[in-house]
Amino acid sequence: MALPLCHRLPLPLLLLLAAGGLRAAERSGGSSSAMEELATEKEAEESHRQDSVSLLTFILLLTLTILTIWLFKHRRVRFLHETGLAMIYGLIVGVILRYGTPSTSGHDKPFSCSQEDRPFTTLLVNVSGKFFEYTLKGEISPGKIHNVEQNDMLRKVTFDPEVFFNILLPPIIFHAGYSLKKRHFFRNLGSILAYAFLGTAVSCFIIGNLMYGVVKLMKLVGQLSGKFYYTDCLLFGAIISATDPVTVLAIFNELHADVDLYALLFGESVLNDAVAIVLSSSIVAYQPTGENTHAFDAAAFFKSVGVFLGIFSGSFMMGAVTGVVTALVTKFTKLHCFPLLETALFFLMSWSTFLLAEACGFTGVVAVLFCGITQAHYTYNNLSVESRSRTKQLFEVLHFLAENFIFSYMGLALFTFQKHIFSPVFIIGAFVAIFLGRAAHIYPLSFLLNLGRRHKISWNFQHMMMFSGLRGAMAFALAIRDTATYSHQMMFSTTLLIVFFTVWIVGGGTTPMLSWLNIRVGVDPDQDPPPTNDSFQVLQADGPDSERRNRTKQESAWLFRLWYSFDHNYLKPILTHSGPPLTTTLPSWCGLVARCLTSPQVYDNQEQLREEDSDFILNDGDLTVTYGDTTITANGSSGPHTATTSLDGRRTKSSSEEALERDLGAADHEVTSRGTRLVFPLEDNA
- 263 to 322, contacts with a second copy by CB under 8 A? 284, 287, 293
Closer to a second copy at the Cβ: 160 or 613?
160
Q: Which listed residue (100, 112, 544, 588) binds a second copy by CB under 8 A?
A: 112
DSSP state of 337: G
Site string for a second copy, 325-354 (x = CB under 8 A): ----x---xxx-xx-xx-xxx-xxx-xx--
Site string for a second copy, 219-248 (x = CB under 8 A): ------------------------------
Rounded to the nearest whole angstrom, what is the least distance from the CB of residue 511 to a second copy in the complex?
19
Q: Applying CB under 8 A, does 10 fall inside the site for a second copy?
A: yes
Query: How many C-beta neighbours within 10 Å does residue 576 have?
Result: 23
DSSP state of 125: E
Q: Give the interface segment with a second copy, choosing from 83-91, 309-317, 356-364, 500-508 (CB under 8 A).
A: 356-364
Closer to a second copy at the Cβ: 74 or 646?
74
Q: Applying CB under 8 A, does 105 fall inside the site for a second copy?
A: yes
Closer to a second copy at the Cβ: 485 or 554?
485
User: What's the full length of the chain, in residues?
Assistant: 686
Q: How many residues bind a second copy (CB under 8 A)?
A: 142
CA distance 246 to 253: 10
Closer to a second copy at the Cβ: 20 or 531?
20
Site string for a second copy, 533-572 (x = CB under 8 A): ----------------------------------------
Q: Which listed residue (99, 127, 644, 675) binds a second copy by CB under 8 A?
A: 127
- Using CB under 8 A as the binding rule, the residues of this chain from 43 to 72 that contact a second copy are 43-49, 51-53, 55-56, 59-60, 62-63, 66-67, 69-71
- Using CB under 8 A as the binding rule, the residues of this chain from 71 to 100 that contact a second copy are 71, 73-74
Rounded to the nearest whole angstrom, what is the least distance from the CB of residue 509 to a second copy in the complex?
24
Closer to a second copy at the Cβ: 321 or 632?
321
Residue 493 contacts by C-beta under 8 Å, 6 or more apart in sequence? 417, 420, 421, 422
Closer to a second copy at the Cβ: 400 or 566?
400
Q: Applying CB under 8 A, does 107 fall inside the site for a second copy?
A: yes
CA distance 8 to 20: 18
Rounded to the nearest whole angstrom, what is the least distance from the CB of residue 596 to a second copy in the complex?
19
Q: What b-and-e string marks burial along 476-504, b requiring 16 or more CB atoms within 10 Å of the CB?
A: bbbbbbbbebbbbbbbbbbbbebbbbbbb
Q: Applying CB under 8 A, does 36 fall inside the site for a second copy?
A: yes
State the amino acid at position 381 in one-letter form.
N
Site string for a second copy, 484-503 (x = CB under 8 A): xx--x---------------
Q: Is 222 helix (H, G, I), strand (E, B) or coil?
A: coil
Closer to a second copy at the Cβ: 10 or 508?
10
Q: Applying CB under 8 A, does 102 fall inside the site for a second copy?
A: no
Rounded to the nearest whole angstrom, what is the least distance from the CB of residue 154 to a second copy in the complex?
13
Q: Give the interface segment with a second copy, choosing from 25-33, 241-249, 514-522, 581-589 (CB under 8 A).
A: 25-33
Q: Give the interface segment with a second copy, choosing from 4-12, 198-206, 465-473, 492-500 (CB under 8 A).
A: 4-12
Q: Applying CB under 8 A, does 103 fall inside the site for a second copy?
A: no
Helical axes 169-178 vs 259-285, angle rounded to 10°: 140
DSSP state of 122: E
Q: Applying CB under 8 A, does 120 fall inside the site for a second copy?
A: yes
Q: Are 189 and 561 in contact (CB under 8 A)?
A: no
Q: Is 678 left (phi over 0), alpha (psi -120 to 50) or beta?
A: beta
Closer to a second copy at the Cβ: 419 or 653?
419
CA distance 269 to 494: 20
Q: Applying CB under 8 A, does 8 fall inside the site for a second copy?
A: yes
Instruction: Identify the helix (H) or strand (E) that includes residue 196.
Output: none
Q: Are 196 and 272 in contact (CB under 8 A)?
A: yes
Q: Applying CB under 8 A, does 515 fall inside the site for a second copy?
A: no
Rounded to the nearest whole angstrom, what is the least distance from the CB of residue 171 to a second copy in the complex?
13
Closer to a second copy at the Cβ: 152 or 613?
152
Closer to a second copy at the Cβ: 334 or 675?
334
Cβ-based burial of 280 (10 A; exposed 0-12, middle 13-18, buried ≥19): buried
Instruction: Identify the helix (H) or strand (E) that includes residue 213.
Output: helix 200-221
Instruction: Identify the helix (H) or strand (E) that includes residue 124.
Output: strand 122-127
Q: Are 577 and 607 in contact (CB under 8 A)?
A: no
Q: What φ, ψ does residue 81 adopt, rounded to 5°?
A: -85, 160
Q: Give the interface segment with a second copy, choosing from 105-113, 237-245, 437-445, 559-567 (CB under 8 A).
A: 105-113
Query: How many C-beta neighbours within 10 Å does residue 531 have?
Result: 17
Q: Are 446 and 268 in contact (CB under 8 A)?
A: no
State the amino acid at position 545 in one-letter form.
D
- Using CB under 8 A as the binding rule, the residues of this chain from 384 to 423 that contact a second copy are 390, 393-394, 396-397, 400-401
Q: Which listed residue (161, 245, 323, 472) binds a second copy by CB under 8 A?
A: 161
DSSP state of 488: H
CA distance 201 to 361: 23
CA distance 188 to 193: 9
Q: Applying CB under 8 A, does 631 fall inside the site for a second copy?
A: no
CA distance 212 to 400: 37
The alpha-helical segments, DSSP class H, found in 75-103 are: 82-95
Rounded to the nearest whole angstrom, what is the least distance from the CB of residue 544 to a second copy in the complex?
53
Q: Dihedral of CA 477/483/487/490: which sign?
A: positive
Q: Dihedral of CA 482/486/488/494: which sign?
A: positive
Rounded to the nearest whole angstrom, what is the least distance from the CB of residue 273 to a second copy in the complex?
18
